[in-house]
Amino acid sequence: MKTAAQRIAKYNARMVSSLLDPVRTALQTSQQANFAAYATEYVPKQLALRAILNALGIDTAQYIFYEAYCGEIYHVWKTSAGASAVIAATAIQGRWAHDSRLGAGAAATLKAIALDIFSIIIP
């Protein structure tokens, strides 16, 4: 997995182009700053997710599904707080818990991810 610095460098390299129009060039600095802030905040959460999945012995083929779930919970964590975050996270967890690709016991793993990484308690 790429580190936050590697992701930021790749993004910045894509933004340097003579083909970019003037409006996008004017926004380039703020876009790069926003992406850098996102990457430095989200990458540690991905690493924490991988640590949890490794500790639980989850098959690496299923990591992509857990990472998608983590991304959805991250969005809830960034945009909601309190009871509304719990309600939204519960709905997301319910949907993913019934996904047959995750296998048995997925509900407990999903709840642990929400609690340990994002401090959202799913009932």
pLDDT in tens, 41-60: 999 999 999 999 999 999 89
The model's pTM: 0.77
Cα separation, 86 vs 77, whole angstroms:
9
Cα separation, 67 vs 73, whole angstroms:
10
pLDDT in tens, 65-83: 999 999 999 999 999 999 9
pLDDT in tens, 72-121: 999 999 999 999 999 999 999 999 998 888 877 888 999 999 999 999 99
Cα separation, 29 vs 32, whole angstroms:
5
Give me the pLDDT at residue 19, please.
58
Q: Token pair 């910045």 is at which residue?
A: 12
What tokens appear for 110 in the block? 């999903």
